[in-house]
Amino acid sequence: MKRFEKTTLWQKTLAIQLDPDTEATNRARLRAAYESFRERAGVLAAEIAIVLPEFTVHDITHLDALWEMAQLITGEKFTLTPAEAFVLGGAFLIHDLGMGLAAYPKGVDALQKTELWHDTVASLLQKKHGRQSTIDEVKNPPEIIRNAAIRQVLRELHAKHAEHLALISWQDCHPSPNEYFLIDDPTLRNTYGPIIGKIAHSHWWPTEQLIQDLPREMGAPGGFDNSWTVDSVKLACILRTADASHLDERRAPGFLTTLRKPAGISADHWSFQEKLYQPRLESDRLVYTSKDNFSVEEASAWWACFDALKVVDRELRQVDSLLADTNRPRLSARGVAYIDDPLRLAKLIGTSTWLPIDAKIQVGDVARLIGSLGGEKLYGRNETVPLRELIQNASDAVRARRLVEGRPADWGWVTVRTGEDINGRWVEVEDSGVGMSINVLTGPFLDFGNSFWGTPLMHKELPGLESKGFSSSGQFGIGFFSVFMWGGKVQVITRRAERARDETLILEFQNGLTSRPILRKAHIHECLIEGGTRIRVWMSSPTIFNQMLRDSNLQKPWTLEERCAWLCPTLDVNLYVENKNKKLVVGAYDWISIKGSKLLQRLFGPRSNKSTTEDATLLKALGPMLRLLTSPSGEVVGRACVSTIKENRTDLVDHERVTPGVVTIGGFRSCELRGIFGVFVGKPHTAARDIGVPVADIDILRLWAAEQADLIFNESLDSELQVDCASIIRALNGATQKFHIANGAGGWKSAEEISKENLDDEVLILQDAALYLAHREFGEIKLHKNVFAVAMGIPGILQTRRHDVWINWPPENDSEGIWGRAWRFHSRTLNGALIEAIAKAWNIPLRQISKVFQQDTGKKTIKREIGLCNGNPVVLGVYVIRKPKSS
C-alpha cells in the first residue's frame, strides 16, 4: 500500500469500504481512473527536471505527499465525498505538470505561439543589450535567450496550462497514432476534467479570486450517489495550503542536491528543505523543525526558510478566513507556529553562532517617505514636474494602446485642462490610452518605486505589448506621486479601453498620502466615454499654478499652452490644451517636419514668438540649419544644428528655462545642450529624468557633425565663432580642417593652413586661456613663429547643471588610436587637431611624434618665451612638441 493510500482522506473515500458498500462499483471506477491518471501524471512530472533542474523535487513523490499534507492540514474529522477525493487528487497530480515541456503535446512550438513567449524573449533581449530588440531578434533569439525564455514561460504558464491538462491528449508518431489522455475514462474526463483543471489553475490565484471564479457546489453525475457533490472552493483551499506547506527533506534529497548543484536562490531552497523534518500539527498550528542548525554560511538559506514559512502561514490564515466567512468546514491548521518572530522560530529551526535578527530595512512612515522622495527631495522645487509626469504617464498609455490595437503611429491624444471650483484651482490630464484594471490601479499604480511596464502583470494584462516594441518613458514607478507636490486632493478616473462604460473606476485621495484613498465605481455622469485615464489635481495654493507658468525674464507669465509645448517639444502623441477652447499645441512627431524656426521657438518659449524680437530673428536664421540625426534603422534621434551665436549671448544660450538646445526623454525636456540648437533624443541618467544622455552613437554624430561643418563653412563667421563651432564639431568627431582652430604668429589659422606651413622642428603650444589672461595683463602680444595658442579641452556640450554628476559625453571613439587611450581624449579636442596638422606639416606619421607633451607633470613646469609685448619677451608655461629625428 502506498503512503498516500494510508491517509484518512483516501481511506474514507476511494479505498475499498466494508460491506455493505452500495457504491462499491462507482468507487472502484473512480479509484481505477485515479490510479491510471497517477501513473501517467508521474511520467510527465519526471520530465520537469529536464528543463528546470534547479527547482526542488516536483516528481510523483511530491504529488503523493500532497495527500499526506492535506490530511495533516484538514484533520481527522474533515470529510470529502469520493467525487471530491477524485477531483482533489487529480488537481494534486496536474497542478505543476505545466512546468515541464512534455506537458505541451507540440513542445516548444506551442510556447512560441503565445504572446507571452514573444514578450519574454523581448524582455530578456532588452536586459542583455540595454535596448529595444528588433522583430528579427525576437523571432530568432540566441540559444541562451531561447532556453531562458523556455524556463520563464513554463513557470509563468504552468498554472494556466494545468486547466487544460485533464482534457488534452498526446499522440505517438506511428502511422496510425495512438492517443493518450491522463484520464482514460471519457465520461469521467468530460465530467470532472474541467473542474480538476480549474482547481489546479487556482493555486496561483489570489485567495479572494476563488469565490469569484470557481463554480458553486456541483451536483453528482448520473449513476453516482446524489450526495457525491463537489465543492470546488473547499478543494482549492486544500490544494493551495497543502502545496505551500510541503517543505521538507523529501523535496530536496541530499544526494540529488549534490547531483543537481543548484545555485543562487535555488541553492538556498534546496539547502533549507533538506534540513527540515515533516511538519506536525499542534493545536491549530503547523510546527516545522530542523534536523540540525544552520551555520553562518547558511544564513541566507535560513531566511529563505523563514520567508517560505511566512507564505505558508499567510495561505493558512487567508484560507481559514475564507472558509469561515462562507460557512464552509474550516481546516485544522490555521497558521504556522513561532513564525511571528525569527528568534522564536530559531528554537525550532536552529542557528549556530548567529542570531536571526530581522534587520532588513524598514520604513516607519511610508507616506512621509513617498511624499519626500516622490516630491521636492527628488525633483527639486519645480512646479512643472507633476505636469510633466502626468503627461508622460498618459503618453505611455496611449503608446501602449496603439500597439495593442494596431493603431497608426500618430493615433491617440492627451488633453491638459485647467479650471476652478469650490475646492480651488485644478489641473487635469486625460488620455485615450489603455486605461487601468482594478489590479493595476490598486497594485503597481500605488506601489512606489515599482513600475507596471515590463512586469509579468503587464504581460498578463497586455499580452504581446512588449514583443511589439513597446518602450515606456516612465521606468521607475514614482512619477505619479509627484502630483502631491501640487496638492493632496487628487482624483483618478480610469477605464480599460475594452471594458464597458459602467466599469469606469475612480480612486480619490482627500488628504494626500496621510489617509487611505477611496476606490469606487463611477456614477453615470463620471463614466469615461472612451477608454483611458483622467487625473485631476487640486492645487493646495493658487501660487503653485502661477509658479508653474512664471518666467523670471518676463513680467507676463506663460500660458498653459506655451508651457506644455516647451515641456514636451518632441512628443509622439497629440497634445491638446483645453481652456475654454481646445488647441493642439504639439502634434505627434511634428518636431521632425515643422519649420526649423518653429521648433526652435517651441524650445525657446514665448519670448521668441514675436517676430520683432532679436531672439526671433536669430532663431529664424538658425532654423534652416537644423538637420535630422537618423539611426541605421531609420529612427530619428535628433534634429539640431551647431550654434553660430557668440557665447556671450548668455541670456539665449545659458538661461535655465529658455535654452533652445535640449535633450528630450520620451518627448519631454530634460537637460540642455551648449553650442547646439535643437533636439537630441536621450535616455534617462537619473530617476528624476532631469539629465538625459543622447542616444545617437558616435557614427551618427560624426555624419551629422560633418554635414554641419559644410553648412557652417559657407557662412561668413569671424575667427572666434569658427573656433567655437570647430570645437563642437571636433568633439563630435567631425572634420574641422577648414575652420580656424589656433592662434599663431599670423593670427588665427585653420588646420589646413598650419599643415602647409614650414614649421620649426620645435613647436610650442599654450592654452588659449593662458594667452587671453596674458593679453589682459600685458597688452597685445605678438606670438613667435613656432607658437600656437589653442583650446585644450572638450567643450561641455551636455549641461547637467549639477556638480555631483559627470557624464562622459560625447562618446569616445572605441579604438585605442595611435597613442592608446590618451588619444581618445585628444582626438576630440582642437589641440588634437593642431597636433595632427603639425604632423602633416612635418610630413611624418602622427604615431612618430613620440612625446606630445613634454611638460613635467611634477614640480617643474616648462616655461618658454612665446612672443613679445612692446618689444619685451613674454614667458608662459607651454607644451613642447619636437620633430622626431630621422633614423
Write down the domain spans for the chain. Answer: 3-238, 247-336, 381-549
pLDDT score of 689: 65
Q: Cα separation of 320 and 99, whole Å?
A: 29
Edge to edge, the sheet with strand 863-869 lists: 782-783, 863-869, 872-877
Please tell me the number of Cα atoms within 13 Å of 119 on its side-chain side.
24
pTM of the predicted structure, to 2 decimals: 0.76
SS3 content of the chain, % helix, strand, coil (to 5): 45, 15, 40
Q: What is the pLDDT of residues 37-49, one digit of tens each?
A: 999 999 999 999 9
Which pairing describes strands 879-882 and 798-799: parallel, antiparallel, or unpaired? unpaired
Does the bond joining 177 to the residue before it have cis omega, within 30 degrees of 0? no
Question: For 602-619, what is each residue's pLDDT tens digit?
Answer: 998 876 666 556 677 788
pLDDT tens digits for range 158-208: 999 999 999 999 988 777 788 999 999 999 999 999 999 999 999 999 999
Phi, psi of 279 (to 5 degrees): -70, 160
What residues contact residue 787 under an 8 Å CB cut-off, 6+ apart?
744, 745, 763, 764, 765, 766, 866, 867, 878
**What whole-number distance in Å separates Cα of residue 881 and Cα of residue 608?**
48
- Residue 5, pLDDT score: 92
pLDDT at 475: 59
Q: Locate 484 and state its grid cell.
A: 502631491
pLDDT for position 366:
47
pLDDT of residue 595: 94
Distance CA(265)–CA(194), nearest Å, equals: 35
All three cell numbers of 696, joined, read 545617437
Q: How far apart are CA 813 and CA 698, in angstroms?
A: 7
Radius of gyration of the chain (CA): 36
Q: Which pLDDT value is given to residue 860?
A: 56
Percentage above 70 pLDDT, the chain = 90
Which parts of the chain have pLDDT scores under 50?
A: 361-367, 369-370, 372-375, 377-379, 649-658, 816, 850, 852-859
H/E element, 74: helix 60-74
Dihedral of CA atoms 452, 456, 462, 468 in degrees, nearest 10, equals 100
Cell reading at 600? 526652435
Its CATH class, for the domain covering 381-549, is alpha beta
Q: If we measure between CA atoms, which residue out of 334, 332, 333 comes closest to residue 317?
A: 334
Residue 380 near residue 351, CB atoms below 8 Å? no
- Give 39-91 pLDDT, tens digit per residue: 999 999 999 999 999 999 999 999 999 999 999 999 999 999 999 999 999 99
Longest dimension (CA), the chain: 131
Check residue 804 and give its pLDDT: 66
pLDDT digits (tens, 9 = 90+) for 297-356: 999 999 999 999 999 999 999 999 999 999 999 999 999 999 999 999 999 999 998 888
Cell 542557528 found at? 351
Q: How far apart are CA 333 and CA 353, in angstroms?
A: 32
Nine-digit cell string for 528: 469615461
**Residues in Cβ contact with 361 at an 8 Å cutoff, skipping those fewer than 6 apart:** none
What are the b/e assignments for 311-332, b being 16+ CB within 10 Å?
ebbebbebbbebbeeeeebbbb
293: which residues sit within 8 A by CB, 6+ positions away? 350, 351, 352
Please state, in angstroms and rounded to a whole number, the distance separating the CA atoms of residues 27 and 83: 9
State the cell numbers at 95.
497542478
The dihedral built from the CA positions of residue 686, 691, 692 and 693, taken in this order, carries a sign that is negative
592: three-class secondary structure by DSSP: helix
